[in-house]
Structure 1
Amino acid sequence: MPDLPLSVWIALAAVLGLLVGSFLNVVILRVPERMAAEWRREARDILELEAADETLPPGIVREPSHCPHCKHPLSAADNIPLFGWLLLGGRCRYCKVRISIQYPLVELLSGMLSAVMVWKFGPTWPALAGLILTWTLIALSGIDFRTQLLPDQLTLPLLWLGLLLALKAMFIATPAAIVGAAIGYLSLWSVYWLFKLLTGKEGMGHGDFKLLAALGAWMGPMALLPIVLISSLIGAIVGGSLIALRRHESGVPMPFGPFIAMAGWVWFVAGDSLLHIYLRLTGLR
């Protein structure tokens, strides 16, 4: 790679993250709609019902970006990550309907986290792998937050990529990746069935199992307990705050995937430092 100062690489990563964040918004919005349409089509085929005259929602590659309200195609200037939203004042240029704050937030988050990843690993192959992990976790969090779904199209490739990277011991060795994936899946799977047997209710979705399995494949079994504890803490704080502010009703399901993703990303980037701080505070080191 070119011999550039680390600060330049970090800035380039931030710009790349902004650009990818714009694409992640497309993934977050279009993948669930596409999945639902395909499920309806498959259900009609299985039940041998007459095919409905239904056009599949736009895909994530071929169809150009457009306003979700008036469907008007967006110009190149409108699509500038983050700044396009600011220049438009948060409203569609054509129909003047307010544009969701999700668009600039996802782009900004992607840019910031991408910069942190390159700051952590430098201009290396582990940084590239970390960027893929980061972008996938952002997409999964956005989809789960909006729809309470964690698509297999994202969780399973993330799991397999973690296992493949372990063949080169990029982050952990192959045995640790396999054990981490297995324990990650089975731990939440066991909690799910125990909760269901005791209460008759489903406490979480199956996508949560697969997401934790993927993180186990990337970071190994030793990272799983901290990830679960951190995600539970974040979930309790966020959920309690939303209920206190009356932004969320008590007893209404809340997606857990975004909290697992947050905790996994934090541990991936700063797990060693957090463990060192914990051991010092507890007097174990």
Structure 2
Amino acid sequence: MELFYQTIMFFLGASIASFVNAWAMRLGGEESIMNPSRCRACDTPLKFNQLFPVLSWLKQRGHCGCKKQQKISIRYFLTEVLLGIIFLVLFTNMQIFSDKTEFIFYLVFLSIALHLFLTDMEYQQLYLPMMLTGIGVGLGYGFYLDQLVLHFYGALLGFILLFVTNWLFQFFRKKQGLGDGDKFLLAMMGAWFGPLLVLQGVVLSSWIAIIFMAFLYLKNKTIPTKIAYGPFIILSSIFIQLNQLFIIF
């Protein structure tokens, strides 16, 4: 029975990742998420058996099931597998901790974070209604933990920190250094996990961004003038929080 529930949790995570992937892609193309899934090469509607997360990608060997057999990016497969594994790990450990409500909060957070990660990475666009929803639910999580004031200060610190940083950059360099959505994103992380994670996240995300830029320079011998900072904030925040939960390091 335990294996059954673990399998359900894995495919729940994979299904949410599949949905979020589709939503992020359609948001970038200004297309409604309510439209049926279709092949991007020939507009053929996808059949039900072509929409199973993880399994359909494997069965079709990374290609669309229509006649054109268009290649599907491995990103979709990896995202589904990764979120499925994270859901499974959280389910197993939260059962040990016996806190199913907190487990549900974490699932909501990861789903929102994945959506923001994909839209910013792909289109350099952070969806403000999603971030405001994330801030609201994060404060609700703080209320559940009886730490609402601490989480409110976390959201406030996250917003102010990047707002002031960007203002100073604009004042001295006469141009914007950060995207408009980054301050709301860091505010969301603070709303979920408090002021300490905000400070740790800024430091770690900056180092990840520096390493990423160094990699791009070594690979292409040039540094892009603009990159999305949101994915680094999300990755660093998730890593820090998982490390606190499971003591990875």
* TM-score when normalising by structure 1: 0.80
After TM superposition, which residue ranges in structure 1, 4 or more long, deviate above 3 angstroms?
7-11
Looking at structure 2, the residues matched to 8 and 242 of structure 1 have their Cα atoms a distance apart, in angstroms, of 43
Note the alpha carbon deviations across 1:42-78, whole angstroms, 9 max, x for none: xxxxxxxxxxxxxxx3x21x32111122111111121
Q: Over the residues paired in the alignment, what is the CA RMSD in angstroms? A: 2.0
- Aligned partner (choices 24, 44, 49) of residue 28 of structure 1: 24
Give structure 2 stretches of 5+ with no counterpart: none
Looking at structure 1, the residues matched to 227 and 115 of structure 2 have their Cα atoms a distance apart, in angstroms, of 17
Is the 2:216–2:223 contact (alpha carbons within 8 Å) kept by the matching residues of 1? Answer: no
2:8 alignment counterpart: 12
Structure 2 counterparts to residues 258-277 of structure 1, below 5 A: 258-271=231-244
**Aligned sequence identity (%):** 27
1:48 alignment counterpart: none
Q: How far apart are residue 249 of structure 1 and its match?
A: 4.0
Looking at structure 2, the residues matched to 272 and 181 of structure 1 have their Cα atoms a distance apart, in angstroms, of 20
- Aligned partner (choices 201, 216, 222) of residue 227 of structure 1: 201
Looking at structure 2, the residues matched to 233 and 116 of structure 1 have their Cα atoms a distance apart, in angstroms, of 27
Which protein is richer in helix relative to its size? Answer: 2
Segment of structure 1 superposing worse, 229-238 or 124-133: 229-238
Is the 2:158–2:186 contact (alpha carbons within 8 Å) kept by the matching residues of 1? Answer: yes
Structure 1 residue 159 corresponds to structure 2 residue 135:
yes
Partner SS for 1:70: coil
Segment of structure 1 superposing worse, 22-31 or 92-101: 92-101
Q: Report the AA paired with residue 144 of structure 2.
A: K
Structure 2 counterparts to residues 52-67 of structure 1, below 5 A: 57=31, 59-60=32-33, 62-67=34-39
* Distance 1:175-1:187 versus aligned 2 partners, 3 A rule: same
Give structure 1 stretches of 5+ with no counterpart: 35-56, 278-285
Q: Report the AA paired with residue 105 of structure 1.
A: L
Is the 1:10–1:116 contact (alpha carbons within 8 Å) kept by the matching residues of 2? Answer: no
Partner SS for 2:48: coil
Segment of structure 1 superposing worse, 10-19 or 252-261: 10-19
Note the alpha carbon deviations across 1:146-205, whole angstroms, 9 max, x for none: 111111121110001111222222xx6011011111001000111111111111221111
1:41 alignment counterpart: none
Q: How far apart are residue 24 of structure 1 and its match?
A: 1.0
Q: Report the AA paired with residue 71 of structure 1.
A: D
Partner SS for 2:141: helix
- Aligned partner (choices 136, 161, 169) of residue 195 of structure 1: 169
Rg larger for: 1
Is the 1:24–1:106 contact (alpha carbons within 8 Å) kept by the matching residues of 2? Answer: no
How many pairs align? 245
Looking at structure 1, the residues matched to 29 and 134 of structure 2 have their Cα atoms a distance apart, in angstroms, of 21
Is the 2:11–2:53 contact (alpha carbons within 8 Å) kept by the matching residues of 1? Answer: no
* TM-score when normalising by structure 2: 0.91
Looking at structure 1, the residues matched to 193 and 216 of structure 2 have their Cα atoms a distance apart, in angstroms, of 31
Q: Report the AA paired with residue 132 of structure 2.
A: L
Partner SS for 1:149: coil
Structure 2 counterparts to residues 35-114 of structure 1, below 5 A: 57=31, 59-60=32-33, 62-94=34-66, 95-114=68-87
Partner SS for 1:186: helix
Is the 1:120–1:269 contact (alpha carbons within 8 Å) kept by the matching residues of 2? Answer: no
Partner SS for 1:73: coil
Partner SS for 2:62: coil
